[in-house]
Amino acid sequence: MLSQVAERLYWTGRYIERAENSARLVNAFTNQMMDLPEGLESGWGQLIDIIGCGSGFEQHYQSYNEHNTVSFLVADGFSPSSIVSSVSMARENMRTTRELLPSEGWQFCNELYLHVKNQSREGVSRRGRYAFLSEVIFRCQQLTGLLSGTMSHDVAYDLVRLGRNLERADMTSRIADSAIFVLMPRRQKPGQYDNLLWVNVLKSSSAYQMYRQHVRGRVEGTKVVKFLLQDGDFPRAVARAIAQAENCMRNLPRNQGPLRRISELRELVGTANIEQMDFARMHGFIDDLQLALNNVHNEIFHTWFHIQHPLRSGQTQSAVNS
């Protein structure tokens, strides 16, 4: 398989998952803001900080209000993190690798693209936001399930699944961080509001029912963060996504470097003592986790997609690149 084709398959998985999880993140943050009483709401700029797109946002907007923030993450084509951009890039990657993917997958992706293109502005206003985001989540899940059920589980599918699970691990940590950001600056607040925030976080990840089945006691911040980061069975938990990504890597050639990096990431997540962390330390740990995920991605990029060939005697680097 050509490295360019492999990279497009990898990014297909990432972009589909990114669109779904961006919808989940905006939904979670909207619910958090609506459930908090007046005077306790947090600024929408924190959502941009969680995504890590502050410089890109400030090139186009001057105010971190709700409309600008949601538009940047949902409907703006110039934003690399928006749902519109993610779906458009997923469609383009699928279009250029159609010979390796089920024809139904291209059809479903094209329908998702048309829906997002035509309805994304409806998702910016609060009135239409929930319906739009829910439909995006459903269609992304539909496309992911179709690929799983109709695509041969070979190297091509392992690349799609690898991208999907790394993106899922990153975005699940950011969704948890969205509530940590709200609560971290406030030292004393009614516990009932804490509970509302964490219930919304679990629901945004479709994790509420599984959390209640496997974690005893009330919904509480430390337990929610531990579940979303370290549970080995829940599909959207970071630890589970990392394990799935590692399994994909084992089926790919020349995998020593990526396996070493993801082993470091797995150890970082598995050995973290979440119960002993306050919210400030949790936020710092999630920053470290996202840096480690970025290191895994960079190792994948240089191992399989941007291969540096050794120079032969008398050969220049420009000759290799040509």
How far is residue 110's CA from residue 221's CA, in Å, rounded to a whole number?
39
Return the pLDDT at 126: 87
Say if 320 falls within a structural domain. no
Instruction: Quote the domain boundaries for residue 129.
Output: 3-307
On whether residue 187 sits in a domain, the answer given is: yes
101 within 8 A of 109, measured Cβ to Cβ: no
**Nearest Cα residue to 11 out of 300, 321, 303:** 300
Q: Say if 278 falls within a structural domain.
A: yes
In a domain, 216, yes or no: yes
Given a contact cutoff of 8 angstroms between Cβ atoms, the answer to whether 164 and 90 are in contact is no
| Total domains present in the chain | 1
3-state secondary structure 300-314: HHHHHHCCCCCCCCC
Residue 215 belongs to some domain of the structure: yes
pLDDT of residue 180: 83
Please, what are the averages of pLDDT over each run of 10 residues along the chain (322 residues)? 92 95 87 65 75 84 89 91 94 94 93 94 89 94 94 95 96 86 59 74 89 87 92 95 96 94 96 90 92 95 77 39 32
Residue 68 lies in a domain: yes
The predicted structure's pLDDT at residue 308: 61
Rounded distance, CA 163 to CA 72, Å? 23
Within-domain flag for 193: yes
Q: Look-up: residue for tokens 């050639």?
A: 253
For residue 291, the model assigns a pLDDT of 94
Identify whether 218 is part of a domain. Answer: yes
